[in-house]
Amino acid sequence: MKIINYLKEILKKRFNRENFLAYIKIFGCQQNEADAEKICGFLKFLGFNFTDDILVADLILFETCAVRHTAEEKILAHIGNLKNIKKANNNIFIAICGCMVEQENIRNYIQEKFGFIDLICGAKIIENFPELFYEKLTGKKLNNFCNIHVSQVLQKNKFKAWVPIISGCNNFCSYCIVPYVRGPEKSKDYNQILDYCKKIIKNGSKIITLLGQNVNSYFYNNFNFSDLLKEIDNINGEFAIRFMTSHPKDFNKNLVDTLASLKHFSNHLHLPVQSGNNKILKFMNRKYTREEYIEKINYAREKIKNLVITSDIIVGFPGETNLEFEDTVSLIKKIQFASIFNFIYSPRVGTAAFNMQDNISHDEKVRRISKIIKIQEKISQEFLSGFVGTNLKVVIEENFANKSIARSKSNLIIELEEKFNVGDIISVKIISSKRNSLIGKKI
């Protein structure tokens, strides 16, 4: 506690006040949300509160993403905009964390171009944020025996919990930077995960999302992902289990059978297919075929009723011909996903695909993604209209003006014309459907 108090004194002097404000901006995936919640827990412990107004913040922290170049460009522009804020008040502390700054070339670029940044902390060393923060602020090295990890995760939504179960990735899909910026797979302690789940469920978490780049690879002391799911399912309480992301190559019948046996499974499966063409899947190093993917989906749909399946698609992978792209179109039509995330292929330095010949024009890539978006829009609308007249159990997520936004167990968004308490679970009747959401009324 001595070092925490010392750190608080330093902060009081630096910011010239008793209570501090932090502005946190998160780019990218749920893993980043989870990492940010850990950092926020630490900051809260030090006496920070959180603000959406960057202009009143003492500390500004960006949790960055490196998956696509467009994300990086956007983040760099945001970082550039911080220059004037720092100029106006040099005491403001600016930290840039996450995957983007795990890349050495970007780190060097930021240090050179934006010398006003106080702390850079890449995704692989995010666990060390407290030490780095301490060292930067005090100018002193932290003694090995001092434990600064005394804070708890600060959930943004009390009823919605991210639970990282495995970090890193060993798959090396040829387009993907993640294995480089997050490192090799490492499963977290089985009992610690279970204890954490018990605690958050007791404290009111209603949606438990198990996180990892490939959750199916979870393996700790002979316990695999199915073991973990069954054990969490046995915890007493009203909650739904979600997980992301599953890799289709490891998504097998055993896992489907386990999911079918769970009381708390959310019935939502995010299974990124990326492409519907076998040649492209091979070049992507995905290690499954179109046919295998379809077979897995068919088995899952047969065993688990009302399964909501979503996916990720990349268009314009190097060398993808129009005919090969059309295989992706036909797969989307065949599977009828509830929704998909679409991406134009983005070359990432250091990945295998970076050296493959990318001869598709930007206009053509835009044409392909637009085509998919249009087709999927129709499929999603039809999928949603199928819920009209049915009843769903939902958890209230947010309130706007006179409305509440809720989420079903299977991750569908439901708008309600009345206001309820955030975190409440209620039953609703679906009265109509929109493009991306449903309209419901409390029963």
Contact positions vs ligand 5AD (CB under 6 A)? 67-68, 175-176, 272, 274, 312, 314, 343, 345-346, 348
CB of 287 to ligand 5AD, least distance (A): 14
String of contacts with ligand SF4 for each residue 243-262, x by CB under 6 A: ----x---------------
Q: Does 280 bind ligand SF4 (CB under 6 A)?
A: no
Q: Does 96 bind ligand SF4 (CB under 6 A)?
A: no
**d(C-alpha 270, C-alpha 57), whole Å:** 36
CB of 399 to ligand SF4, least distance (A): 34
Using alpha carbons, select from 190, 193, 142, 179 the residue that is nearest to residue 34.
193
What 153-156 contacts at long range (C-beta under 8 Å, 24+ apart), as own/partner pairs, is 153/34, 153/37, 153/38, 153/40, 153/41, 154/37, 154/40, 154/41, 154/43, 154/44, 155/37, 155/200, 155/205, 156/33, 156/37, 156/40
CB of 169 to ligand SF4, least distance (A): 3
Per CB under 6 A, the segment of 26-34, 107-115, 175-183, 291-299 that binds ligand SF4 is: 175-183
Comparing CB distances to ligand SF4, the nearer of 37 and 185 is: 185
Residues 340/311, Cβ–Cβ less than 8 Å: yes
Partner touching 314 among ligand SF4, ligand 5AD, none, CB below 5 to 8 Å by kind:
ligand 5AD
Residue of the chain from 179, 212, 248, 316 that contacts ligand SF4 (CB under 6 A): 179
Residue 438 has what DSSP assignment? E
Comparing CB distances to ligand SF4, the nearer of 157 and 171 is: 171
CB of 379 to ligand SF4, least distance (A): 23
Q: Distance between alpha carbon 105 and the CA centroid of its chain, in Å?
A: 24
**d(C-alpha 203, C-alpha 196), whole Å:** 11
Written as one letter, the residue type at 312 is: D
Comparing CB distances to ligand 5AD, the nearer of 205 and 346 is: 346
Partner touching 348 among ligand 5AD, ligand SF4, none, CB below 5 to 8 Å by kind:
ligand 5AD
String of contacts with ligand SF4 for each residue 47-86, x by CB under 6 A: ----------------------------------------
Per CB under 6 A, the segment of 36-44, 72-80, 108-116, 176-184 that binds ligand SF4 is: 176-184
Partner touching 103 among ligand SF4, ligand 5AD, none, CB below 5 to 8 Å by kind:
none
Q: Is the peptide bond before 245 cis (omega within 30 degrees of 0)?
A: yes
Distances (CA, A) of 376 to 259, 381, 407, 420: 26, 8, 21, 32
Q: Does 30 bind ligand SF4 (CB under 6 A)?
A: no
CB of 156 to ligand 5AD, least distance (A): 21
**d(C-alpha 48, C-alpha 251), whole Å:** 42
Burial readout 181-206 (b: 16 or more C-beta within 10 A, e: otherwise): bbbebebbebeebbebbeebbeeebb
Say how many residues touch ligand SF4, by CB under 6 A: 10
Q: Does 109 bind ligand SF4 (CB under 6 A)?
A: no
Q: Give me the sign of the Cα torsion angle 395, 398, 399, 400.
A: negative
What is the DSSP code string of 3-35?
HHHHHHHHHHHHHTSSSEEEEEEE-S-HHHHHH
Q: Does 214 bind ligand SF4 (CB under 6 A)?
A: yes
Comparing CB distances to ligand SF4, the nearer of 176 and 193 is: 176
CB of 342 to ligand SF4, least distance (A): 15
CB of 151 to ligand 5AD, least distance (A): 29
Burial readout 62-97 (b: 16 or more C-beta within 10 A, e: otherwise): bbbbbbbeebbeebbebbeebeebbeeeeebbbbbb
Comparing CB distances to ligand 5AD, the nearer of 71 and 375 is: 71
Partner touching 343 among ligand SF4, ligand 5AD, none, CB below 5 to 8 Å by kind:
ligand 5AD
Comparing CB distances to ligand 5AD, the nearer of 174 and 226 is: 174
CB of 178 to ligand SF4, least distance (A): 4
Considering just the CA atoms, what is the radius of gyration of the chain in Å?
23
Burial readout 341-363 (b: 16 or more C-beta within 10 A, e: otherwise): ebbbbbebeebebeebeeebeee
Distances (CA, A) of 56 to 15, 80, 320: 11, 18, 48
Number of residues that this document lists for the chain: 443
String of contacts with ligand SF4 for each residue 141-170, x by CB under 6 A: ----------------------------x-
Comparing CB distances to ligand SF4, the nearer of 211 and 394 is: 211
- Interface residues with ligand SF4 (CB under 6 A)? 169, 171-173, 176, 178-179, 213-214, 247
